[in-house]
Amino acid sequence: MSTVAELTATLAKNAVAGGAIAAAALVALAGQPAQAQDWPQEDITIVVAYPAGGGTDAAIRAMVDILSEQFGQNVLVRNVGGAGGGVAAAQVMREDPDGYTLLATNSTSITLAPLVEPTAYSLEDFETVAILGEFQNAVFANNDKPFDTLDEAIETVKSENRPLSFASQLAIDRLLMQYIARERGIELLPLPVSGGAGATQAVLAGDVDLSFSGGSWAPLVNAGDAKALFAASHGRLAVMPDLVSMEDLGFEFGVTSHISLHAPAGTPEEVLQAISNAFEPGVKGERAQNVGEARSMDMTFRGLEEAREVIANERATYEAMLESLGEAADD
Amino acid sequence: MLENFAIAASETFTLLVFFYVTLGVLLGYFVGALPGMNRTTAIAVALPFTFAMSPAMALSFLIGINKGGAAGSAVSAILINVPGEPSSVVTTYDGYPMTLSGRARKALNIALFASVVGDVIATLILIALAQPLARFAVTLGPIELASILIFSITFIAAVSGDSFFKALIAGTLGLLLSAPGIDVETGLPRLTFGIVNLYDGIPLLAVAIGTLALSEILVQIDNGWRGDYTTPQQEPGSEDPDANRMDRNEARRVGKATFSGAIIGTLVGLLPGLGATLASFLSYTWTRQRSADPRAFGKGAPEGVAASEAADNATVPASLIPVFAIGVPGSLSTALLMGAFLMHGLTPGPFLFRENADVVYGIYIGMLMASLGLIIVGMFGQYILRMVIRTRQTVIYPIIVFLCVIGAYMESGTMFGVYLMIGFGFVGYFMKKLDFSFVTFVVGYVLGPMAELTIRQSLIISQRNPAVLLEHPIALIFLVLTAFSIWRFSIAGLRPVEITQPSKADQDRD
């Protein structure tokens, strides 16, 4: 929710910065007129798919100053929350593919949601522009639980002849747990919770054996209030390289989610490249990096080509995992 | 605790925060003084404007509005015999007679003194009580929470107003409204009719602003159309400087009434659903019964004003205790404040102290600043307020409609919220016209999802075996209380207290 106050503040700031940029642009133009591009000519709107105050929102807002300097235009942030990113995605999909309206979202809302939920859009409706960061997904548990690893947890529930309970909130954690349960031959007991806070509460109160978390686990584990069991991704995590990953545990797949930047399908290639180039210093800037540190997100920039690859891989992984679960259901 | 205060103070103890908190108090004072508009409306309209603030500042600002509203409502009650809010109905009993006998300034000062003292006492009790309660509440699992929520929902029947069945209908409507959204267990949309904007449920602000604020404007339009347009009244002019002095005996009685009012207000505020109107009434009755001269009441007894206003203001911080400690709101305004917590990424409840202790202590500091703000606004704002209550409604209402539209747009950044808000404006209009309870409606809507989630969690954990309850004595106690509450308020059919004076239909709107 971009508020009037904030909007005005941004505009005012940009107006001041605008003068400096104009001067700089003039110098640059005088030096190398050949490289002057006609894009962008208008203000650029970044639609953040979540309400103000979330991780994606904080990261984008930390970049706005650098971005408007890069583009030489005002950069407006608009929060369109709802349906786990679905409302914003459906809205941006319908915008003109001119690069002036961009979508910043959790990549799973584009790669995974259309596969498992009724959505008004599909992956093909978007161009991937850049990856701005990676959420540090892990599975954690209450300190008092009699296990320290996934295998010990599975041992425990098998010996007690009961299902493994977990805090369930999103498609991504349900998929991960179902996949693990199928591979290791255990029963699951999903306890529905609302939001990351609900998952944390269920773990700390001891209501569940374990819970998936997109980053709120890190401060808890660092403070000694809970223990991390394993990273949910295939490879290890940047914030805690010592933590075993799905690959280490012998699984073929792991789940990932990124802060990804998209444009409506059909946006010209050179515009996509220009946007991607402008975001690189934004992500690498001090403020965005600080936000990443505070919120346990790995703010590593990936440009156009690399980002497309990441998203395609993520999609392929989810398709393969769902397929293996589908087969299990058919048996 | 002191350490937490020190950390929070470094962020919150600034002039900017103080400015915003005082601004909140001023806004609340204005709205409280304006008959027709109340502080819940003001919170609903102001909520979207806090998105850019830090969480502690935003919550302090909103609580400031609430506090200011509780104090400001006394002004119009005393000066023109029209309670700015239902909770100040009792203040008119003695406040207006005092004005008639030339003691308006004295009545206003006593009301201000009682408001501030009631507010400070209840705030200190909140600070002392919320954290230990939260520490205890950490041990409450879904089964305990579910039974507390069920109890809270039935308890609201106690304030159902004139018609128990209308209140029941309104409450059920509220529960139904909370049903659309993503089903927590399956992750699939439920009752959304394919509308993506409903996947997260019907947005809080659209409902709150529509039913609370816009509907009030519609009622006023209706009144204007019918010709019973209320032109602001003139207060009787003459002041008697001699009668405005206070002797020691009188001061002692006012002090006593204020103190007992603060305690009664705190106790009533703690319980879900009862609210400030009942608190001020109980406190007034208590003081009158213990007075040496009960017959002076209703004819301009200063301690009557003090008793009513102290209790009214004490409910504001007290009603936040269950929100902070277990995450259960007991009234309309706390339900909205809880929505504000969620919008700022904070989850009220036992883990609030653990994960966001700095924010909580920041809010405490903000609340104490608001008490100071009350004194400043109350002392210097009285002349402005006298003008405000004479401002024409044709000036004020269009501004409020404008703010309603902006507020509804800001929640999700789409026009969907605005259309919904307008729709709920009409729903609220008809509810007001037909005298359906707003408390049960909004509390049903806010508690519904929490009750559903915890009940479903309990069923999963207990594997649908009711015998599990025997291992959860706290849950059992609340379920027994629930049965008692249903018997007491519906089957036995007794109303707790009849509050009959000017605007009976307004009584459940605090």
Put simply, the answer to whether B196 touches A192 (Cβ < 8 Å) is no
* Residues A182-238: tens digit of each pLDDT: 999 999 999 998 777 788 888 888 889 999 998 888 888 988 889 999 999 999 999
Range of the domain at A225: 138-255
pLDDT at A32: 38
Interatomic CA distance for residues B36 and B233, integer angstroms: 14
Average of per-residue pLDDT values in chain A: 85
- CATH number for the domain that contains residue A296: 3.40.190.150
Interface of A with B (CB under 8 A): 1-6, 9, 51-54, 78-84, 86-87, 90-91, 116-118, 120, 168, 170-171, 174, 189-195, 197-198, 200-201, 204-205, 207, 225
Euclidean distance between CA atoms A134 and A107, whole angstroms: 9
With contact defined as beta carbons under 8 Å apart, do B249 and B108 qualify? no
* Dmax (CA) of chain B: 74
**DSSP string computed for A125-180:** GEEEEEEEEEE--EEEEETTSS-SSHHHHHHHHHHTT-PEEEEE-SHHHHHHHHHH
Distances (CA, A) of A102 to A130, A191, A258, A290: 11, 36, 16, 23
- Cis status, amide bond into B241, omega within 30 of 0: no
Q: How many domains does chain B have?
A: 1
Q: Which domain CATH number covers A215?
A: 3.40.190.10
Gap between the Cα atoms of B27 and B47, Å rounded:
13
Asked if A211 and A125 sit in the same domain, the reply is no
Q: CB B343 to CB A51 under 8 A?
A: yes
pLDDT digits (tens, 9 = 90+) for A122-144: 999 999 999 999 999 999 999 99
Q: Do B413 and A117 touch (CB under 8 A)?
A: no
Retrieve residue B464's tokens.
Answer: 């649908």
Q: Is residue A328 part of a domain?
A: no
- Decide if B95 is inside a domain: yes
Angle (nearest 5°) at CA A315 between A309 and A317: 100
Distance CA(B322)–CA(B329), nearest Å, equals 7
> Is residue A20 predicted with pLDDT exceeding 50?
no
CB < 8 Å from A in window 288-347 of B = 343-345, 347
User: Looking at the structure, do residues A207 and A289 belong to the same domain, yes or no?
Assistant: no
Q: CA–CA distance from A224 to each of A140, A202, A209, A239, B191 (Å)? A: 12, 17, 17, 16, 42
Tell me whether residues B413 and A171 touch, CB distance under 8 A.
no
Q: A8: nearest CA in chain B?
A: B52
Residue of A93, A109, A194 to mutate for B, most B C-beta atoms under 10 A: A194
Tell me if B29 sits within 8 A of B72, measured CB to CB. Answer: yes
Residues A25 and A167 in one domain: no
Asked if residue B347 belongs to a domain, the reply is yes
Residues of chain A in contact with residue B189, where contact means CB-CB under 8 angstroms, are 117-118
Would you state the pLDDT for residue B240? 67
Alpha-carbon distance of B384 to B393, in angstroms, equals 16
Residue B53 has a pLDDT of: 84
- Last residue of a domain, which of A233, A255, A277? A255
Residues of chain A found within 8 Å of residue B407, distances taken between Cβ atoms? none
Any chain A CB within 8 A of the CB of B449?
Answer: yes
Among A200, A234, A255, identify where a domain stops.
Answer: A255
Among residues B359, B405, B377, B80, the alpha carbon closest in space to that of B213 is found at: B405
Chain A nearest-CA distance from B200, in A, is 6
What's the residue count for chain B?
510
- State yes or no: pLDDT of A156 exceeds 90: yes
Annotate B13-36 with DSSP letters as a single string: -SHHHHHHHHHHHHHHHHHHHSTT
Tokens coding B277: 């109107």
Q: Is B224 within the bounds of a domain?
A: yes
Q: Is A157 domain-assigned?
A: yes
**Whether pLDDT at A331 is above 60:** no
Q: Is residue A331 in some structural domain?
A: no
Whether B51 and A1 lie within 8 Å, measured CB to CB: yes
Our CA angle for B36, B37, B40, nearest 5°, is 135
Contact assignment for B52 to A5 by CB distance below 8 Å: yes
Looking at the structure, tell me whether residues A34 and A115 fall in a common domain. Answer: yes
Measured in angstroms, the CA of A194 and the nearest CA of chain B are apart by 7
Range of the domain at B288: 2-160+205-426+462-502
**Is residue B194 one of the residues assigned to a domain?**
no
User: What whole-number distance in Å separates Cα of residue A269 and Cα of residue B503?
Assistant: 67
CA distance B465 to B480: 18
Please report whether residue A188 resides in a domain.
Answer: yes
Question: Pick from B194, B406, B413: which is nearest to A78 by CB?
Answer: B413
Residues of A whose CB is below 8 A from B345: 53-54
B448 lies in some domain:
no
Give the pair of three-digit tokens for residue B331: 């009234």
Radius of gyration of chain B (CA): 22
* In a shared domain, residues A131 and A277: yes
Q: Give the DSSP H/E element, type plus range, for residue B222.
A: helix B215-226
Number of domains making up chain A: 2
Nearest CA in chain A to B49: A3
What HEC string does B83-121 produce?
CCCHHHHHHHHHHHHHHHCCCHHHHHHHHHHHHHHHHHH
Domain match, A244 and A290 both = no
- CA-nearest of A45, A50, A106 to A82 is A50
Last residue of a domain, one of A255, A278, A301: A255
Q: B54: nearest CA in chain A?
A: A53
Question: A10 with A127, same domain?
Answer: yes
Q: Say if the Cβ atoms of B184 and A192 lie within 8 Å.
A: yes
Round to whole Å and give the CA distance between A12 and B131: 42
Nearest CA in chain B to A170: B187
CA distance A102 to A73: 14
Has residue A179 been placed in a domain? Answer: yes
CB-CB: which of A53, A191, A200 is closest to B351?
A: A200
Pair B258, B306: CB distance under 8 Å = yes
Pick from B203, B195, B168: which is nearest to B440 by CA?
Answer: B168
Across the interface, whether the CB atoms of A82 and B141 are under 8 A apart is answered no
pLDDT at residue B136, as a whole number: 81
Contacts of A32 (CB under 8 A, 6+ apart): none
Q: What is the mean pLDDT of each run of 10 residues along chain B (510 residues)?
A: 78 87 91 77 85 87 92 85 79 89 88 94 93 81 86 70 77 90 81 84 85 85 73 57 76 93 91 78 89 86 93 92 83 82 80 82 92 89 73 79 84 84 94 83 81 90 86 90 81 51 40
Give the DSSP per-residue string, A50-101. S-TTSHHHHHHHHHHHHHHHHHTS-EEEEE---GGGHHHHHHHHTS-SSSSE
DSSP string of B346-397?
---STTHHHH-HHHHHHHHHHHHHHHHHHHHHHHHSHHHHHHHTTS-HHHHH
Residue B120 within a domain: yes
Query: Do residues B49 and A2 make contact, with C-beta atoms less than 8 angstroms apart?
Result: no
Distance CA B30, CA B385 (A): 7
Give the pLDDT band (50/70/90) at residue A244: very high
Q: Which 396-415 residues of chain B touch chain A by CB within 8 A?
A: 406, 410-414
Phi, psi of B125 (to 5 degrees): -65, -40
d(CA B32, CA A124): 54
B447 is a domain residue: no
H/E run at residue B475? helix B473-486
B196 to A1: CB separation less than 8 angstroms, yes or no: no
Is the ipTM above a cut-off of 0.95? no
Query: Is A125 in the same domain as A272?
Result: yes
B351–A204 CB contact, under 8 Å: yes
Examine the domain organization and report whether A93 and A163 are in the same domain: no
Greatest CA separation for chain A: 76
- Backbone phi, psi, residue A68, to 5°: -70, -30
Establish how many alpha carbons lie within 13 A of residue A102's alpha carbon, considering only the half-sphere containing its beta carbon: 28
Across residues A242-256, what is the average pLDDT? Answer: 94
Q: Taking CB atoms and an 8 Å cut-off, how many pairs form between chains A and B?
A: 110
Residue A92, domain member (yes or no): yes
Q: Is residue A330 part of a domain?
A: no
CB contact under 8 A, B142 and A117: no
C-alpha span between A40 and B303 (Å, rounded)? 69
pLDDT at A297 over 70: yes
